[in-house]
Structure 1
């Protein structure tokens, strides 16, 4: 399965590369796991099977969302099923090479399951809480602003726009008419963003404004001259412990898995030899 998933990941990289990135939603959780995703020569592939394959994909694919990768992932699973059936029809089920690879996979699964169970046993709520507290200390709540801007190529044009806004002109309409930036067609809407999401001069100006106020003077950046309108401000709360729990388990799990592997190897009766046949010291030491 590990090799199959690696092949799927490579194929998905090609298939999904040109696909649009969709917002992540709860769509996968709302699916009926017993719903039919495909019928392959009499065998049913369920939504649950597809979603399990999705969860085993590398994170960069999971981040695109189940709906975004579903068509490509389902197609690869269908192809896999077709090829497996053709292989069985060709008598490969009892082929020595197949049996050898199955045994290799079995050993890998035993290793993975054993290690994951030891990690689960070792992680305590106290450790998770401590890791959560460290995360919160390092990542305080973030301030965001919701803003619009109008980008032009000269200070004079920017000052003229500021005067029009001061006289009561609609900012979004002016952005559609005058802005050279890509957000112009959306009325200059930039949505919510953090301080570090923008170039310094722009960020300093935007975060220095209160809601429903705009820059009294044009702001110059490498992109041109900006007039900025801040519509709202907010502080994004830190994620709760329960929201962070899966991520915390993953972070701690990696450390614990490394320690468990090292500790057990040190306790085992192991002899290592160099290329010349001479005894070799353990690379992880005796401590």
Structure 2
């Protein structure tokens, strides 16, 4: 009868202990290494890479969790947890984690909605110019150079050939001075004013001076502005608004704080 009682007790202990053991990877020098430590490492890795967890990654995370415990125990045995450097780094890490949690909490309490992003999209769309221009240009340093090139154009030389040979603009010279499609606001005022005054196929009759030098501009074509669809630019809008809100939240906290600190000095 006693043997049966002992057997029942042992079985009960084993059943109670099993769930607890399942929550640990192993025990190092009498201290359990929880499975949650490896889970946290897996979560961190998958977040950074964007890839799902694999069996190999899970095994590597378990190995790392055990080694971290071994290292931590050795550091504590040496008393390093009391060192000034460790305590300073610990405080900085504590602040970093709290600050991250604060901004995450703020985002949670004031989530960015679809309506917010659509309103920002509509604002940009309303501010966009009605027309886009496909232009070419030849940029030189001196006015005399520009006048000489204009004389060659009037003599029948091809604009693209002269741009490749003479233009000082590294971004367009190799493409025959091609600037692709863009709105007038993409250029300096002097350039834009001259460009929008041209008709399709025309080039400027006189050099156009700007802060970069002297331009000869040719207008290839004009079209209605091709504004991207909302879904195409939604990720950029989301990122932009999130950053704006983050900055505004930071500035609000800074303005409310009671301190005589001189910011930026």
Which among 82, 85, 88 is matched to residue 101 of structure 1?
88
| Alpha-carbon distance between aligned partners in 2 of 1:115 and 1:97, rounded to the nearest angstrom | 27
Change (3 A) 1:95 1:232: farther
- Residue 175 of structure 1: aligned partner: 163
Change (3 A) 1:238 1:283: farther
- Bigger CA radius of gyration: 2
Which among 109, 130, 138 is matched to residue 150 of structure 1?
138
| Alpha-carbon distance between aligned partners in 1 of 2:253 and 2:139, rounded to the nearest angstrom | 56
TM-score, L = length of structure 1: 0.47
TM-superposed CA distance for 1:180, in Å, is 5.3
TM-superposed CA distance for 1:104, in Å, is 0.4
On the 8 A contact 2:164/2:177 being kept in 1, the answer is yes
- Residue 209 of structure 1: aligned partner: 198
Q: Secondary structure at the match of 2:84?
A: helix
Q: Does 1:133 align with 2:119?
A: yes
Superposition misfits of 4+ residues, deviation over 6 angstroms: 260-263
On the 8 A contact 1:162/1:227 being kept in 2, the answer is no
Higher helix share: 2
**Partner deviation per Cα, 1:101-155 (whole Å, 9 max, x = no partner):** 24303431342143123202221445x7347525743672245433222345336
Q: Secondary structure at the match of 2:218?
A: strand
On the 8 A contact 2:133/2:182 being kept in 1, the answer is yes
Change (3 A) 1:239 1:118: farther
What pairs up with 1:251-262 in 2 under 5 angstroms?
251-256=244-249
Kindly tell me the number of residue pairs found equivalent between the two proteins. Answer: 184
**Partner deviation per Cα, 1:79-100 (whole Å, 9 max, x = no partner):** xxxxx9xxx7xx6854522441
Give me the CA root mean square deviation. Answer: 4.4
What pairs up with 1:63-82 in 2 under 5 angstroms?
none
On the 8 A contact 1:195/1:203 being kept in 2, the answer is yes
TM-score, L = length of structure 2: 0.50
What are structure 1's unaligned runs of at least 5 residues? Answer: 1-28, 35-42, 45-83, 266-281
- Residue 237 of structure 1: aligned partner: 227
**Partner deviation per Cα, 1:54-101 (whole Å, 9 max, x = no partner):** xxxxxxxxxxxxxxxxxxxxxxxxxxxxxx9xxx7xx68545224412
